[in-house]
Amino acid sequence: MADTMFTHKLDESQVRRLREVIEGKGFEFSPLEYGHFTARKGKCVLHAYLSGKLVVAGKEAKDFIEFTLEPEVLGEARLGYEKIRNPEMYAPHFGIDESGKGDLFGPLVVAGVYVDEDTADRLIEIGVRDSKTITTDKKIAELAEEIEKTVRGGMEVVTMGPSRYNELYRKFGNLNRLLAWAHGKVIANLHAKIPQCPRALSDQFGDPRLVEGELRRQGVEIQLQQRTKAESDIAVAAASILARAEFVRQLARLSAEVGFDLAKGCGSGVKKMAEDMFKQKGREGLAYVAKTHFRTFSEAVGDPVAPKVEWKKRS
């Protein structure tokens, strides 16, 4: 398997030197959120972050490090050729993530992406990363479009609008069980498309046995891995972008339908909007666009809510 991704921490003078060197070598520059720049040439892409972290990716990354970065910027051979990411990230697997579970308004969306070595390289080259680090809906939509072109059908998106979500929540009685059902459904649908894929990876949101149980019920035999911060995996990161893009699209559609610019999240501004909607459209009107088990929903419609438990530190 070819080495395709490396990282190193640069100081400010090294970042300046790097820019000078690659400008002279014909790299093309573009802006980078939370970064100094992204630069590309051939099959090599550089991401220089404000933290000093430099990521070098692509099939020509190894040559760039050996013949440019080490001799002309670092002045010594320090990176070597060991991937900083687990090689499993480049092995065939599904990545699963969701969007909307913390938002009062709009759907819950779960997405999955199939990745192998070539796909992982291409996703890295187009700038795929955890959707939480992308601050604009426009950028999310652009990356989602590129991901769809890149994975060429190796993807699955399951969307539960508020009405369907509320129905499923009443059925399962627990968000983690609902999420497990949705993750299992996405994995099963992907497995039907690509049955040779041996492994699936998702962010851990509860008892891992919940998703395992859903897969057994659906007759899917696949190695399932669940871990915290799974978005560091390129397949999970791509899934997180697809899920967020669909959430944003559906939220915009609902906003146009009900005549309210529905806000994301579940803060005080969202609560005020829910109260206004309740006054104008009643409980059913609000439930049409909102997740009804949220405390914010109960407060907006005047239902009694369980008191928050405050833990006091022992003296």
Compare 5 and 179 and report the one with higher pLDDT: 179
Contacts of 192 (CB under 8 A, 6+ apart): none
R_g over Cα of the chain: 22
CA distance 178 to 171: 9
Q: Which CATH architecture has domain 5-74?
A: 2-Layer Sandwich (3.30)
Percent of the chain with pLDDT over 70: 92
Q: Among 9-13, 254-258, 265-269, whose mean pLDDT is lowest?
A: 9-13
| Cα angle: 118, vertex 120, 123; to 5 degrees | 110
Given a cut of 70, whether residue 241 has pLDDT beyond it is: yes
Q: What is the mean pLDDT of residues 75-81?
A: 55
Contact 44, 25 (CB under 8 A): no
Q: Among 49-53, 167-171, 184-188, 295-299, whose mean pLDDT is lowest?
A: 49-53
Angle between helices 137-151 and 117-125 (to 10 degrees): 150
Question: Looking at residue 80, what is its pLDDT?
Answer: 43
Contacts of 130 (CB under 8 A, 6+ apart): 231, 232, 237, 240
* Class for the domain spanning 88-252: alpha beta
Give 82-95 pLDDT, tens digit per residue.
344 457 888 999 99
Residue type, 158: V
Give 101-150 pLDDT, tens digit per residue.
999 999 999 999 999 988 988 888 788 888 888 889 999 999 999 999 99
Q: How confident is the model at residue 315 (pLDDT cuts 50, 70, 90)?
A: very low
* CB atoms inside a 10 Å sphere around CB 315: 3
Given a cut of 60, whether residue 270 has pLDDT beyond it is: yes
Question: Looking at residue 78, what is its pLDDT?
Answer: 52
Q: How confident is the model at residue 308 (pLDDT cuts 50, 70, 90)?
A: low
Domain boundary assignment for the chain: 5-74, 88-252
